[in-house]
Amino acid sequence: MLVDVVMPQLGESVVEGVVVKWLVEVGELVAKDQPLLEISTDKVDAEIPSPTAGRVAQILAKPGETIPIQGVLAKIETDQGVVVPAPTAAPRWDEETEGFPGHMARKTEPPIPAPPRVEPSAPAPPPPPEAGRVRITPVVARMAAEHGLDLSRIPGTGIDGRVTRKDVEEYLASGQAAAAAPAEARPGPPPAPAKAPAAPPRKAARAPKAALAEGDRVVPWTPIRKKIAEHMVRSKHTSPHVHIFAEVDMHRVALLRANAKKEGMNFTYLPYVIQASAKALRELPAMNATVDDESTILRKDIHISVAVDTEKGLLVPVLRHADRISLKEISAAMDDFGARAKAGKISPDELSGGTFSITNPGSKGNLFGTPIINQPQVGILRLGQVVKRPVVIDVAGEDSIVIRPMMFLCCAYDHRVIDGVAGNGFLYRVREILEAGEFS
Amino acid sequence: MLVTYIEAIRQAMDEEMERDGNVLLMGEDVGVLGGAFKASVGLQEKHGPDRVVDMPISESLIVGAGIGLAVQGMRPILEMQFIDFISCGFDQIVNTAATLRYRHGGQTACPIVIRGPSGGGVHGGLYHSQNPEAWFCHVPGLKVVAPATAYDAKGLLKAAIRDDDPVIYFEHKFLYRRIKEEIPAEEFVVPIGKAALRKEGRDLTVITYGSPVHAVMKAARDMAAEVDIEVIDLRTLLPIDWATVKGSVRKTGKALIVHEARLTGGIGGEVAARIAQECFEDLDGPVMRLGSRDVHTPFAPSMEEYVLPNQEKITEAIRKLAAY
């Protein structure tokens, strides 16, 4: 078979070499390491040794020709029929430690025999896989252990696809990590190149330092619980939350629900609030945004993350294009999310890409609560319990006390990005839509 | 006021001599000539030949006499005409000055300042280009400073003169007249042992001091679009401001140390080792160093360029670490 003789890289900044002179001719028999030709580069002059024993089959570069590194200079025919792997690269000389190879190679004396090498007693490390192994720095290893991450799922942007600290931070910020946890059992598409090592063993949860009395139960955090904890703390730490409240008369919505029921459709209040929010976001888009570093990205599409409670913890699947779908579709999607979340069948893709969040704690949700923003979004809306309450309304020009289903909506916005006018304007508009019953 | 680096040094000596009658300057040609680089020009005329004293060509004598005066309550500034010649006074510095307080159980001090022009880049050849700060950083009892700006040159020299322990003050001759800087007209002192955060950044930390501070800052500006660099100017090399170094590396996860002194046995090795040990779990790349090649500083400009760290090498090292 034919083995290539290539232009080696002699020095870090060298990109090409010039063929000075051939020392062999086509057809000549050569020994392994026998000098084949002289080359000259910006840094050094050197002789190129034959990578294998055999017969010179072809000479592909003439004296004076400039060849880029790794460019083929000649082909050597080996007499073996077996496949001989071409050398991956000629040795790289380190001028500082190895001396100047060109200078050494030009000497005509026989080379000084190398001193014997003591073989290390430990087994040699396995050869690196072709596509490069995944290297992990201490900080990345620590973060992976802390967050229970499988590094093979994180796309690396460092040298040779290394997962950098920034990659991990971005992965965590994107919320994909939370998604990865329930999806672990299924074979997901690994985004990392080549064979990645198995996830580093997760650190055992630290034993609590608190004194335990008989009957106390220690519940170590699961990965998803750690993930939620980390996300909540980071969100509170990152965004100055402003919480504003609207008291909404759900009278119209209640009537619409009753009408829908007559038509056989059992809607909760949630689809109405989702649709009202999507409509308000379309009209007042400041809140439909995510933060990236020191920029705000105003999102064109409205994808609403909806919090779903599961036994394992909170999951937040995303309802895509919430402004373009009907109440019926929204309601169906909510039922579907609920059922699949319970069964652990929400896919990671469904958990990312939200542009605004809504959380509905349900009929036992109490009067109101102050939600935490779902990073990197800038706003979140929380439904309170709908309760009947006497309210003063205007009936034909007269103040009258009537009984109405009332609900407190709490909106949290990130004051880094959203100022009072925009935040309040949004919530006010949601309330208007709900009270006027502007639904499609 | 707008002053050069060397003028800042002159002002510091002048003001301290005016403030404290115990401060005096001794060295070769510091009096009548006003110093080989004119760092003490006009000082003898102003403060008299008893306080600005021309000494014989004997660094051992200059340091030894200074130690004796210091023990008796004076605060001598001892100039090495070139810091390369400090090795002639080495024994007096490391065995006498540095140990004095220790030997006397803290009952006496040795308030001397040894200052002189260090560094290359001026085609001074091997006897006039050295950066021997690492020799002294190995010695307890000494303090070592290396200012990079006119402000620090003045403030650190004043702090050094007022310090009760021997301070070795490395002034970089490449900066003498290349740096022109606005400094306050009123009195100020730069504390010994405190690094300066020259630029905040998120991606990697460059720890440097002396002349390369300026090249690193230029790199930080020029490369702003590709990498956000944090620059720490150590200013004091003994004791090093570890809190600042560690705080920064913990934040960025990557560290490059740049100094003009030779790499092997240089300050960078100590800084790198300490980062590796104390910030290990925060590191997101190898701790890297850039210094002069391990050879004597050559005279030929092209060879000097090859040996010393320069703009190009700094940029390359930053790029390499940023990409890791």
Domains annotated on chain A, with CATH = 2-106 (2.40.50.100), 136-183+193-202+220-238 (no CATH), 240-436 (3.30.559.10)
Is the interface score ipTM higher than 0.85? no
Q: What is the pLDDT of residues A142-183, one digit of tens each?
A: 898 888 888 888 888 888 888 899 889 888 888 766 554 443
Q: What are phi and psi of A104, to 5 degrees?
A: -65, -45
Worst-scoring range by mean pLDDT, A211-215, A295-299, A424-428, B138-142?
A211-215
Q: Which helix (H) or strand (E) holds A156?
A: none
- For residue A213, the model assigns a pLDDT of 85
- Is residue B151 within 8 Å of B185, Cβ to Cβ? no
pLDDT > 50? residue A197: no
CB-based contact A96 B293, cutoff 8 Å: yes
What number of other Cβ atoms are within 10 A of residue A262's Cβ?
Answer: 7
- For residue B235, the model assigns a pLDDT of 97
Strand residue runs (E) in A34-109: 35-40, 45-49, 54-59, 66-68, 72-77
Chain B: closest CA distance from residue A99 (Å): 14
| Neighbour-count burial of A98, counting CB atoms closer than 10 A to its CB (0-12 exposed, 13-18 middle, 19+ buried) | exposed
Q: What is the pTM of this model?
A: 0.53
Instruction: Take residue B169 and report the two structure tokens written for it.
Output: 């003050």
Q: Is the dihedral of CA A427, A433, A434, A440 positive or negative?
A: negative
Worst-scoring range by mean pLDDT, A190-199, A421-430, B278-287?
A190-199
- Which residue is closest to A293 within chain B, CA to CA? B202
pLDDT band at residue A361 under the 50/70/90 scheme: confident
A-interface mutation test, from B251, B254, B284, most A Cβ less than 10 A away: B284
- For residue B15, the model assigns a pLDDT of 98
Contacts with B282 from chain A: Cβ below 8 Å: 138-139, 142
pLDDT band at residue A200 under the 50/70/90 scheme: very low
Q: What percent of chain B has pLDDT over 90?
A: 99
pLDDT band at residue B60 under the 50/70/90 scheme: very high
Q: Report chain A's mean pLDDT, rounded to a whole number.
A: 81
- For residue A100, the model assigns a pLDDT of 41
- For residue B263, the model assigns a pLDDT of 97
Where do the H-state alpha helices sit in A213-326?
223-238, 251-262, 270-283
Q: What percent of chain A has pLDDT over 90?
A: 40
Residues 6+ apart with CB under 8 A from A215: none
Chain B: closest CA distance from residue A161 (Å): 9
- Higher-pLDDT residue of A241, A205: A241
pLDDT > 50? residue A274: yes
Q: What is the Cβ-side half-sphere exposure of residue A262, based on CA atoms within 13 angstroms?
A: 5
CB-based contact A164 B324, cutoff 8 Å: yes
What whole-number distance in Å separates Cα of residue B32 and Cα of residue B28? 10
Residue type, B1: M
- Is residue A271 within 8 Å of A331, Cβ to Cβ? yes
Worst-scoring range by mean pLDDT, A346-350, A365-369, B284-288?
A346-350
- For residue A179, the model assigns a pLDDT of 55
SS3 (DSSP) at B23 = strand
Chain A: closest CA distance from residue B146 (Å): 29
CB-based contact B323 A158, cutoff 8 Å: yes
| Neighbour-count burial of B278, counting CB atoms closer than 10 A to its CB (0-12 exposed, 13-18 middle, 19+ buried) | middle
- Which residue is closest to B285 within chain A, CA to CA? A137
Query: Is position B128 annotated as part of the catalytic site?
Result: yes
Residue among B282, B293, B323 minimizing CB distance to A139: B282
What whole-number distance in Å separates Cα of residue A234 and Cα of residue A146? 14
Q: Which of B128, B172, B214, B259 is catalytic?
A: B128
Q: What is the pLDDT of residues A90-125, one digit of tens each?
A: 445 444 444 444 444 443 445 555 666 665 565 555
- For residue A125, the model assigns a pLDDT of 55
**DSSP assignments along B242-284, one per residue:** HHHHHHHHHHHS-EEEEEEEESTTSHHHHHHHHHHHHSGGG-S
What number of other Cβ atoms are within 10 A of residue A215's Cβ?
Answer: 5
Instruction: Take residue B162 and report the two structure tokens written for it.
Output: 């007022």
- Higher-pLDDT residue of A175, A380: A380
Chain B: closest CA distance from residue A129 (Å): 19
Chain A contact present for B293, CB below 8 A: yes
pLDDT > 80? residue B164: yes
Contacts with A293 from chain B: Cβ below 8 Å: none
Instruction: Take residue A164 and report the two structure tokens written for it.
Output: 């950098």
What whole-number distance in Å separates Cα of residue A45 and Cα of residue A436? 85
CB-based contact A137 B285, cutoff 8 Å: yes
pLDDT > 50? residue A262: yes
pLDDT > 50? residue A186: no
What whole-number distance in Å separates Cα of residue A153 and Cα of residue A144? 11
Provide mean pLDDT across the span A217-222. 83
B-interface mutation test, from A151, A164, A168, A170, most B Cβ less than 10 A away: A164
pLDDT > 80? residue A130: no
pLDDT > 60? residue A270: yes
- Is residue B238 within 8 Å of B136, Cβ to Cβ? yes
Chain A contact present for B188, CB below 8 A: no
Domains parsed from chain B with CATH numbers: 2-182 (3.40.50.970), 196-323 (3.40.50.920)
Active site residue ranges of A: 415, 419
Chain A: closest CA distance from residue B238 (Å): 29
Q: Which helix (H) or strand (E) holds A96?
A: helix A95-98
Residue type, B98: A
Listed as own residue / partner, the contacts of B93-96 with beta carbons closer than 8 Å and 24 or more positions apart are: B93/B63, B93/B136, B93/B139, B93/B142, B93/B166, B93/B168, B94/B136, B94/B139, B94/B142, B96/B63, B96/B64, B96/B67
Q: What is the pLDDT of residues B245-255, one digit of tens each?
A: 999 999 999 99
Worst-scoring range by mean pLDDT, A28-32, A151-155, A299-303, B179-183?
A151-155
Instruction: Take residue A210 and report the two structure tokens written for it.
Output: 């608190």
pLDDT band at residue B47 under the 50/70/90 scheme: very high
pLDDT > 80? residue B111: yes
Instruction: Take residue A56 and report the two structure tokens written for it.
Output: 């010179």
